[in-house]
Amino acid sequence: MPTDTPELLTIDAFIRHWAADRPQRPAMVGERRINFAELDTSTQRVATALLAAGLKKGDRIAWLGKNAVLYFTLLFGAARIGVVMAPVGWRLAAPERRYIVHDTESKLLFAGDGFADDARALAPQLPLVQRIFSADEAWAWIDGTTPAPFTASGTEDAILQLYTSGTTGNPKGVELCNRNLFGLRRHAQQAGLPWAFFADDEVVMVAMPCAHIGGTGLGFMALAGGVCGCVMAEFTPDGCFDAIEKEGVTRFFAVPAALQMLVNHPRCAKTNFSRLKYIFYGAAPIPLALLQQCVQAFGCQFLQAYGMTETTGTVVTLPPEDHDPDPKSSSPRMRAAGRPSPGVEVKIVGLDGQTVSTGTVGEIVTRSSNNMLGYWKQPEATARTKTADNWVHTGDAGYMDADGYVYIHDRVKDMIISGGENVYPAEVENAIYGHPDVADVAVIGVPDATWGEAVKAVCVPKPGRTVDPASVIAWARERIAGFKVPKTVDVIIELPRNPTGK
């Protein structure tokens, strides 16, 4: 029988519910294996330890590391009392990590395996951080705490803060509350959507980075369904195949670049996918040929998930029935992002903010219980993205057909999506501008067979100097995350600009 739950809308309520309903069933597997009774106890200990350390509802803690059972234990435990977890992308460069941790005003910083030295190196620049924990120290801290009663957080209390890059460079902290994470579940179940229900023995693989909604969001999905979350430190093809075969994974989310690595891997043809029910994909455009190849190779149901951090992930879904594996198929539905999920409103608006006619391209805006509380301590930026009546401007240009399917036409912003990671040209340009040989630079995205898009820098040399592409790449690598560093550099005499200088 599919799993269903009462109207539960908080982390605390879900943990209590499943601990009573299925205490001995696995809740998470990774560097530790814990059942729902143990998850209840360990997260109570986290809540108690945080309160004993002087934290209160609304305070922040930060995580620097890869995916881990420890991360989700800290996240869920903090969420039970309304302390907000802010995971930091482990691929980020040291200055980017420092900016995010400092911006959160976190009092405690937890480091995953292999990141303790990195975290402690940041300490002199993080005056608000009172204590840094290695993974071993964090587990000892949790295991050594005796649970005590606490006041649980409410549906509107923030529990998660994910950072999304801005066109001006510095990332913004997206505040998400309990309701944001769980508010749409009931709508999907009431609509009878098959993928909104879970069989008792299902396993959800968490393979995407926890600093993204596509990573942490899957941990919430597993908890809400009362099933096991298989937590992978990071995505690797072999790791995914192992989890599918050894842990019995039934569903997971992956960006197109990850799917391409899987389907082209020698193990793909030899792996038993009989337990796999659903693959969710999104976060970047997917070539039609790759999608059809994946549908044929994995033999399970595919769903495209369109959304953004500010909408707590998916608000538009392309269901399995709209996926045609026939390479000769010309069905336009395969190119659609999908239809609004139950409980979600979507409209297409013009520059004047008014709804445009069917088939006309405009900006995609959406309203649902998934929409963020706002950007952390940035009311002006929040007001530019989210209206007073809770419509979020996605910054994506698209249109809607007569059947209500949304098609992404282009991106309003200049964002480059490389392997599912968001890269803003201004951020990369700022990193390159100080190079001693570079007078001017523009950063663009170019098609890439592996990553969907690759970052390219187009540089203008200073008078009398020569720009060495390798030097520009090395310069950028010291200042920004590896996935933002240009893969290629072109050198030209002058950048073309319009009359306003853009």
Assess whether pLDDT exceeds 70 at residue 246: yes
Which of 58-72, 228-242, 319-333, 366-380 is least confident?
319-333
| Count of helices and strands (H, E) across the chain | 15, 25
Q: What is the pLDDT of residue 193?
A: 95
Centre a 10 Å sphere on the Cβ of residue 312 and count the other Cβ atoms it contains. Answer: 27
When pLDDT is cut at 50, 70 and 90, the band that residue 3 belongs to is: low
Pairing of strands 108-111, 131-133: parallel
Say whether pLDDT at 281 is over 80.
yes
What is the spatial distance between Cα 70 and Cα 131, in angstroms, rounded to a whole number? 17
pLDDT, average across residues 229-234: 98
Q: Which residue has the tokens 């005796």?
A: 146
Is the CB of residue 257 less than 8 Å from the CB of residue 419?
yes
pLDDT-based confidence at 226, cuts 50/70/90?
Answer: very high
Give me the pLDDT at residue 500, please. 32
At 115 the pLDDT is 98
Answer whether residue 498 shows pLDDT above 50. Answer: no
Buried b (16+ CB within 10 A) or exposed e, 190-222: eeeeeebebeeebbbbbbbbbbbbbbbbbbbbb
The Cα-based distances of 449 to 260, 266, 268, 458 in angstroms read 9, 18, 19, 20
The stretch 179-204 carries a mean pLDDT of 95
Q: Over the chain, what is the mean pLDDT? A: 92
Among the listed residues 194, 196, 195, the one whose alpha carbon sits nearest the alpha carbon of residue 186: 196
pLDDT of residue 374: 98
Q: Which of 271-285, 291-305, 319-333 has the lowest mean pLDDT?
A: 319-333
Is residue 327 over pLDDT 90? no
**Structure confidence at residue 156 as a pLDDT band (50, 70, 90):** very high
Q: Residue 2: what pLDDT?
A: 45
DSSP strands (E only) in 118-157: 131-133
Tokens of 371: 């929409």
Instruction: Kindly give, in sequence order, each residue whose CB lies less than 8 Å from that of residue 179, ignoring residues fewer than 6 positions away.
Output: 9, 155, 156, 369
Separation of alpha carbons 108 and 64, rounded Å = 11
Alpha carbon of residue 390 to chain centroid: 21
Amino acid identity at 449: A
Query: Would you say residue 167 has pLDDT above 60?
Result: no
pTM of the model: 0.86
Q: Are 159 and 11 in contact (CB under 8 A)?
A: yes
Q: Helix (H, G, I), strand (E, B), or coil: what is residue 225?
A: helix
Instruction: For residue 405, give the 3-state DSSP assignment.
Output: coil
Is residue 501 pLDDT above 60, yes or no? no
CA-CA distance, 429 to 476, in Å (whole number)? Answer: 9
Q: Stretch 81-109: mean pLDDT, rounded?
A: 96
Instruction: Kindly calculate the radius of gyration of the chain based on its CA atoms and give it in whole angstroms.
Output: 23
Tokens found for residue 146: 């005796």
Check whether 434 has a pLDDT greater than 90: no
Secondary structure letter of residue 495 according to DSSP: -
- What is the average per-residue pLDDT within 418-444? 85
Average pLDDT over residues 456-484: 95
CA–CA dist 99, 457 (Å, integer): 24
pLDDT band at 6 (very low <50, low <70, confident <90, very high): low
Cβ 194 vs Cβ 242: under 8 Å = no
What is residue 415's three-state secondary structure? coil
